[in-house]
Amino acid sequence: ENAVTKLNLENSHREYARAKSLMPGGVNSAARAFGAVGGEPIVFERGEGPWLFDIDGNKYLDYIGSWGPMILGHQFPAVCDAVHAAVDRGTSFGAPTVAENELAELIIEAVPSVEMVRLVNSGTEATMSAIRVARGYTGRDVVIKFAGNYHGHVDSLLVSAGSAAATLGVPNSPGVTQGTTQDTMVLEYNCVEGLGQAFAEHGDRIAAVILEPVCGNMGCVTPSGEFLAALRSLTEQHGSVLIFDEVMCGFRVARSGAQSLFGVIPDMTTMGKIVGGGLPLGAFGGKREIMQHVLPAGKVFQAGTLSGNPIATAAGIAMLKSLRDDPPYDYLEKISDRLAQGLSKSAADAGIEHCVNRVGSMMTLFFHPGPVTDWTSAAKCDTEKFSKWFWGLIHRGVYMPCSQFEALFVSATHTEEHIDQTIAASRDVFESWT
């Protein structure tokens, strides 16, 4: 089962060559280009449960899950049925629908900090809009973000960003002007002292603090209780808006997100990925008092031709109802713990320095003894070892995130057998090195 197979990727290579002449780098999102691990991306045809099938007929156990949305596996029946039904009523109206109310109610019921919500088309739009609202609401300019956290390709937040920005070593993207980022302060994640100092010096200028309350974009990194407590008390004290970017961890680490897991309630929350069931949909929400500043209730501009799109909304409703009525979280905790322990042991038995960070079904095997608590420690990882491990797994039918600085995701369709198969593949890769 786990013997190294020389994969035939002929069709993938051909299509990728074609793609490169059509799209920059042959892809529509930098994160999927395999830039960090060397080599060419695989081109896919179909997903089913925990499996991905490429265009050469190879199949892989998928631990990317579309970078988060596929918490219930590919082709989850309730989501697919809802999408089919929605298509038959029309693809877009640019006008109110009942489904938007339903999805808004499901989000508000699930996420403690959200009293009002607006639907958008991506996680990037959600964070971009939340920042604008926080600035409009407070009448202040400065936004604090943390090194290694990624909030989408919002210009003002593309400073020391994680994910593809970290992977590709582009701390500040060309095209992002100094003017755009001069009101962004970058601090170290989990550093209570730095946060205290920033507020002591600039407290009355800080509009918002935005963070991933479970970080996935420098690999999986968790906040300390002390850090979370400081974030909440300092923002409250200084009248700044605390924004949890739960695009990745929302509906993932718990149905009600990291905020429920940690019992720390922000003023605003941004969402994406799972909330749209795998279709392009994001959302931002928060206290009624803040959200009433959004146009047309208030004056902070926000709009979107396809916002609240009926197909994406139908998928989101089906997804959130399934997570509410048949919660996968206990099961995900159990098999994710099994995977984390198994991967760790596979490395330990081969004498490879590593550590594993995990919250629920998000985790990262870091090629560094750790602890990995911030970008400084994450950046010390042996990314060459990671790449070798990644390709070893690809050739054993396991599709892991293609960078050390991404979290892997387990879905509810991964069985113990799939997990054990993955651990055996990892063990086999490490054994082949010695």
How many residues bind ligand PMP, per CB under 6 A? 17
Residue nearest to ligand PMP (CB): 123
The interface region with ligand PMP, picked from 136-144, 227-235, 244-252, 374-382 by CB under 6 A, is 244-252
The interface region with ligand PMP, picked from 148-156, 293-301, 350-358, 418-426 by CB under 6 A, is 148-156
Q: Does 375 participate in binding ligand PMP (rule CB under 6 A)?
A: no
User: Which listed residue (62, 245, 374, 428) is catalytic?
Assistant: 245
Rounded Cα distance, 418 and 25, in Å: 32
Nearer to ligand PMP, 243 or 317 (CB): 243
Q: Does 150 participate in binding ligand PMP (rule CB under 6 A)?
A: yes
- Of the residues 247, 254, 268, 359, which one makes contact with ligand PMP according to CB under 6 A: 247
Nearer to ligand PMP, 154 or 423 (CB): 154
Cβ-proximal residues to 330 (8 Å cutoff; 6+ apart), any chain: none
Rounded Cα distance, 220 and 357, in Å: 6
**In the bound complex, what is the minimum distance in angstroms from residue 158's beta carbon to ligand PMP?**
11
Nearer to ligand PMP, 130 or 425 (CB): 130
Residues 64-103 contacting ligand PMP, CB under 6 A: 67
Phi then psi for residue 414, to 5 deg, are: -75, 125
Spatial contact of 82 and 314, defined as CB atoms under 8 Å apart: yes
Rounded Cα distance, 386 and 388, in Å: 5
**In the bound complex, what is the minimum distance in angstroms from residue 381's beta carbon to ligand PMP?**
19
Q: Does 364 participate in binding ligand PMP (rule CB under 6 A)?
A: no
Rounded Cα distance, 284 and 254, in Å: 18
- Of the residues 26, 50, 152, 286, which one makes contact with ligand PMP according to CB under 6 A: 152
Retrieve residue 238's tokens.
């200084």
The pattern of x and - marking residues 13 through 52 that bind ligand PMP according to CB under 6 A reads ----------------------------------------
Residues 310-349 contacting ligand PMP, CB under 6 A: none
Q: Does 421 participate in binding ligand PMP (rule CB under 6 A)?
A: no
Cβ-proximal residues to 289 (8 Å cutoff; 6+ apart), any chain: none
Task: Tell me the residue type at 423.
Answer: I
Q: Is 273 a catalytic residue?
A: yes
* Residues 13/18/22/27 CA torsion (nearest 10 deg): -20
Nearer to ligand PMP, 111 or 425 (CB): 111
Nearer to ligand PMP, 12 or 302 (CB): 302
- 45: Cα within 13 Å, side-chain hemisphere: 11
User: Which listed residue (63, 145, 273, 388) is catalytic?
Assistant: 273
Q: Is 329 a catalytic residue?
A: no
Nearer to ligand PMP, 216 or 392 (CB): 216
The DSSP line for 146-207 is ETT----S-GGG-BS--THHHHTT-SB-TT--HHHHTTEEEE-TT-HHHHHHHHHHHGGGEE
**In the bound complex, what is the minimum distance in angstroms from residue 247's beta carbon to ligand PMP?**
3
Rounded Cα distance, 129 and 294, in Å: 9
Nearer to ligand PMP, 146 or 199 (CB): 146
- Of the residues 122, 160, 364, 373, which one makes contact with ligand PMP according to CB under 6 A: 122
Helix 98-110 vs helix 310-325: angle between axes, to the nearest 10 degrees? 40
Nearer to ligand PMP, 123 or 397 (CB): 123
Query: Edge-to-edge, what's the strand order for the sheet holding 398-399?
Result: 44-48, 51-54, 59-62, 398-399
- Of the residues 151, 238, 414, 418, which one makes contact with ligand PMP according to CB under 6 A: 151
Q: Does 217 participate in binding ligand PMP (rule CB under 6 A)?
A: yes
User: Which listed residue (16, 150, 189, 399) is catalytic?
Assistant: 150
Spatial contact of 211 and 146, defined as CB atoms under 8 Å apart: yes
Q: Does 272 participate in binding ligand PMP (rule CB under 6 A)?
A: yes
**In the bound complex, what is the minimum distance in angstroms from residue 70's beta carbon to ligand PMP?**
13
Q: How far is CA 425 from the centre of its chain?
A: 25
Q: Does 222 participate in binding ligand PMP (rule CB under 6 A)?
A: no
Phi then psi for residue 218, to 5 deg, are: -120, 35
- Supply the DSSP symbol for 240: P
Q: Is 150 a catalytic residue?
A: yes
Rounded Cα distance, 166 and 312, in Å: 30
> Which residues make up the interface to ligand PMP (CB under 6 A)?
67, 122-124, 127, 150-152, 163, 212, 216-217, 245, 247-248, 272, 282
Task: Give the residue numbers annotated as catalytic, written as ranges.
Answer: 150, 245, 273
